[in-house]
Amino acid sequence: MRVIEAAGVDSALDFSALVDAIDAALRADVVVPVRHHHTIARPDGDATALIMPAWAAGAGGFLGVKLVNVFPGNAARGLPSVLGTYVLMHGDTGAPLAVIDGTRLTLWRTAATSALAARYLAREDASVHLMVGAGALSPFFLKAHRAVRPITRSIIWNKTRANAEKIATSLRAEGITVEVADDLEAAVRAADIISTATLSREPLVRGAWLKPGAHLDLVGAFTPEMRETDDDCVLRSRIFVDTRGGALKEGGDLVQPIKAGLISADVVEADLFDLARGTVRFTRAKDDITLYKSTGGAIFDPRRGKKRDCGVSLLIKICGLKTPESVDCAVGAGADMLGFVFHPKSPRYILPDAAAALVRQSAGRARCVALVVDTDDGQLGVLRSTVAPDLWQFHGTESLERVRDVRAAFGIPVMKAIGVASAADLTAIPAYAAVADRILLDAKPPKDAAYPGGHGRVFDWQILSALPPDLPFMLSGGLSPENVADAIRTIRGMGLNLVGVDVSSGVESAPGVKDLGKIRAFIAAAREA
C-alpha cells in the first residue's frame, strides 16, 4: 500500500486535466451515498467529522472513502481548520491500495469541481474573479477558474486583510497577479465569478450587489447553520448544485431559505450529473445570474486516485470522426474527447454543420475538440457559433501570442499540438504549456505532407525523458490498439505526467474511414494499461 503526501498530489495534478477527469467521472456509473456528518463538541468551538464514501459500479472499479475533520479552533494552533485523509481501495477485493493526503486532494478536487461548474454555468467572457475568504482553498480556486475562463483580473477579500495579502503574495510568486480588496461590496459588483469558501454563519455577499450575468460559486457553509449569501442572492439566481442530496440537506445557503418558505427544493434546475450527462441542457441569457452550491463528496476521488500515484485518470481522445456510427462507438466505448478536423486538406475534414450534428448527438457524453490549422478569427468564430467546441486543438504553427490571444478572445480552452522528432523539439514545450490549457505531443509529419497530423508515424518515446516530470501532456503519433498500452507504461514508467492519449489513423481501415472494432480495442487497451 502506498502513502502519498501533499507533494505527490501536487506533482501529479493540473487543473485543466483534472476538470476534464471530473467531468468524465460524472458521466460514469459511480455510486455516491450521502455523506455522514457528525458534530464533535469542543470547548473552543464545535468540530465536524465528515465521512464520504464512493465506488465505481461493476468489475474492475475502485472504492474510496474520504475522511474530513473540520476544527475551527485550529487557527489558534497554527494548523489548518480542515484536515483530511483519503483511502483508496480495489473495487473487486476491498484491498487497500493507497492512503493519500486527503487535505491536499480535497483542495484540488473542490477547486476543480467548482471550475467545472463555472465551465457549464458562467458566461464565456467572464474575466473578473473574486475570491471571498483566505483559507487553504483560496489559492486553488484562483488558479482553477483560470483553466476554464479567460480571467484577467483576480481579487481576494478576507475579514483579516493580512491573510488575504499572504495568498496574493504567494500567487504573485507563481506569476498570477491578485488584488487584495478592502471593500467587499465594490469587489462583488465588479466580479463576473464570485467564489466563497468560508465558515461564516452570517451572510457575506448581498444579492443587491450582484451585477447582471454574475456567477456565484458557493463552497463554504457546509452545514445547515452556516450561511455565505443572503436571501436576495438566492431569489435572484438560477440554482444549481453539485448533488441534490448534499446541497439540499446540508448547504445552509439553500436549507435556510427553503425552511423559511422563500423557495422550494424544486428551484434547483440541475446538479453536476445532469449537466455532465446532458440530461438537462443549460442555456443562459446574457444577464442570467447563476448560483452553484457545493457541499462536496467522494465521487471524484477514485477517479483521481487510481492512476499514476493519485494522478488524473487517463483521458482518451478519438480524432477525425465523421459519421454518427463512429461517434456512437467512441462514446459507448468510453472516449472522453471527440475530435473533429476542420483542415480542408485532411482526409478527415468535416464541414461545420455536419460536425455540429455529431456534437449534438454526443452532447453530455464526451467533450468536443475542434482541430484547426493556422485558422483566422473569422473561421474560429464560425466554428464557435456552429459547433460550439469545448476545446480548440491548434495543430499548425500557431505562436505563443496567438494561443494566448485566442484563449482570451473566445473564452474556449486551447490544446496546442507540438511535433516531436528529436530532443531539440522539446525546448518550446514549457513556454507553450504556460499559455495553453493542454499540450499534445505528436510525431512530426513528413516534410512534403499536406496536413500536419494523422500520418501513423511513431516517434521515439524515450526522447520525452527530458521533459519536466510535473508537466502534464497528452500523447499522439502512430498510436494503435497494439501499441497504446506499451506507450502508456513506458512514458509513465519514466515518471512523466501523461494525462491522455489521442488516436486517429490508428483506428482506421483507410485514411478518414474509422474502424469501429479498432476504436473499441484502442479504448480497452488504454484503459487496461
Tell me the catalytic residues.
319, 442
CB burial of 4-18 (b: ≥16 within 10 Å; e: otherwise) equals: beeebbebbbbbbbb
Enumerate residues 6+ apart whose C-beta is below 8 A from 417: 393, 394, 395, 440, 441, 442, 452, 453, 476
For 88, 148, 202, the CA distances from 197, given in Å and listed in that order, are 26, 19, 13
**C-alpha to C-alpha distance for 195 and 187, rounded to whole angstroms:** 12
In this structure, the number of other CB atoms found within 10 A of the CB of residue 340 comes to 28
Q: Are 297 and 246 within 8 A, CB to CB?
A: yes
Of 246, 261, 198, nearest in space to 226 by CA = 198
Of 396, 527, 459, nearest in space to 62 by CA = 527
**C-alpha to C-alpha distance for 501 and 348, rounded to whole angstroms:** 18
3-class DSSP state of 369? strand
Of 511, 524, 525, 457, nearest in space to 322 by CA = 511
Residue 249, Cβ density class (10 Å: 0-12 exposed, 13-18 middle, ≥19 buried): middle
Distance of CA 341 to the CA centre of its chain: 23
Q: Which helix (H) or strand (E) holds 353?
A: helix 352-361
**C-alpha to C-alpha distance for 292 and 244, rounded to whole angstroms:** 11
Angle at 65 (CA atoms; ends 63, 71), nearest 5 degrees: 170
Any bridge partners for residue 472, and if so which?
497
**C-alpha to C-alpha distance for 289 and 236, rounded to whole angstroms:** 7
Q: Which set of grid coordinates corresponds to residue 505?
A: 489513423
In this structure, the number of other CB atoms found within 10 A of the CB of residue 385 comes to 10
Of 162, 157, 146, nearest in space to 190 by CA = 157
In this structure, the number of other CB atoms found within 10 A of the CB of residue 388 comes to 15
